[in-house]
Amino acid sequence: MRNGMVVAVLFDIDGTLITTGGAGAVAWRLAFEELYGIPADIGRFSDAGMTDPDVARRTFANVIGHDPSPRELARLMAVRLEYLPAAVAESSGYRVLAGVSDLLPRLADTGYLLGLTTGGVEAAARFKLARGRLNRYFAFGGYGSDSVDRTELTKRAIERAALLYGRSLGAAKCVVVGDTPLDVAAAQGAGAISIAVASGHFGVGELHDAGADYVLTSLEEELPL
């Protein structure tokens, strides 16, 4: 590792730690159906790695025909969160991805600070991790509720890591683990080291092309820490 000492390891959630089996899309669909009578499919209007507010705005504009007002956006986000816990609990496709259950306790026992960097708002992130009993590993993070910009929310996660570390913490001592080119770009923008894992929608070659410092096929492989 180029900096010689990694202090914090920040993980994306969907496609990196878990898959919800489509529970997130179900919750969005039900929210749009309740509020507007339209079972909207977010997959038609969003890309993997986008923040929740961006997903909401883009889907709303395409389905409803105009940009949401602040109140419309807030209401949609709130109703979606009401549906999300049940959608996650009832998803037959939910699973913790390969290697995660062994990796997280090992990193924690070794003394790394473990955090999240995700486009999901914090409540959604916690709902998704709860079924896999993974919340216990993450004391901090950067979320889509901090910024719609993935780089900025990653910087926020690094700032929070420094608070726990108790001293200044350069981004070069932080690793971001994610499964999309947006995760890689956010790590680069924040000055952190990027480890891309081909456990989501993107293959090894695509993640190399995105500029990741390291690429793994799954989290069963040893992290280069």
- Output the DSSP codes for 119-171: SS-HHHHHHHHHTTT-GGG-SEEE-TTT-SSHHHHHHHHHHHHHHHHTS---G
- Predicted pLDDT at 3: 42
Q: How far apart are CA 131 and CA 122, in angstroms?
A: 15
Closest residue by Cα to residue 216 from 175, 172, 186, 178: 178
Express each pLDDT in 115-172 by its tens digit.
999 999 999 999 999 999 999 999 999 999 999 899 999 999 999 999 999 998 999 9
2 assigned to some structural domain: no
Place of tokens 């790394």: 112
- Predicted pLDDT at 2: 42
Judge whether residue 178 has pLDDT over 70.
yes
Identify which has the larger pLDDT, 104 or 43.
Answer: 104
Q: How far apart are CA 31 and CA 45, in angstroms?
A: 16
Q: How far apart are CA 125 and CA 52, in angstroms?
A: 10
114 and 48 belong to one structural domain: no
Three-state secondary structure call for residue 92 = coil
Is residue 58 within 8 A of residue 45, CB to CB? The reply is: yes
Identify which has the larger pLDDT, 44 or 153.
Answer: 153
Confidence class for position 1, pLDDT limits 50, 70, 90: very low
75 assigned to some structural domain: yes
15 and 79 belong to one structural domain: no
- What is residue 41's DSSP assignment? -
136 and 63 belong to one structural domain: no
For 135, the token pair is: 């919340």
Q: Amino acid identity, residue 11?
A: F
Q: What is the CA radius of gyration of the chain?
A: 17
Judge whether residue 4 has pLDDT over 70.
no
Residues of the domain holding 118 = 8-20+95-216
Overall domain count for the chain: 2
122 assigned to some structural domain: yes
Judge whether residue 49 has pLDDT over 50.
yes
- Predicted pLDDT at 165: 94
71 and 135 belong to one structural domain: no
Is residue 214 within 8 A of residue 192, CB to CB? The reply is: no
Q: How far apart are CA 32 and CA 51, in angstroms?
A: 18
**Strand stretches in 84-126, DSSP E:** 95-96, 113-117
104 and 74 belong to one structural domain: no
- Predicted pLDDT at 50: 81
109 and 166 belong to one structural domain: yes
Express each pLDDT in 189-224 by its tens digit.
999 999 999 998 899 999 999 999 999 999 999 999
- What is residue 14's DSSP assignment? B
**0.85 cut: is pTM over it?**
yes
Closest residue by Cα to residue 198 from 130, 91, 212, 189: 212
32 and 54 belong to one structural domain: yes
Confidence class for position 48, pLDDT limits 50, 70, 90: low
Express each pLDDT in 76-117 by its tens digit.
999 999 999 999 999 999 999 999 999 999 999 999 999 999
Instruction: Select from 40, 58, 90 the last residue of a domain.
Output: 90
Judge whether residue 20 has pLDDT over 70.
yes
- Predicted pLDDT at 30: 96
Three-state secondary structure call for residue 224 = coil
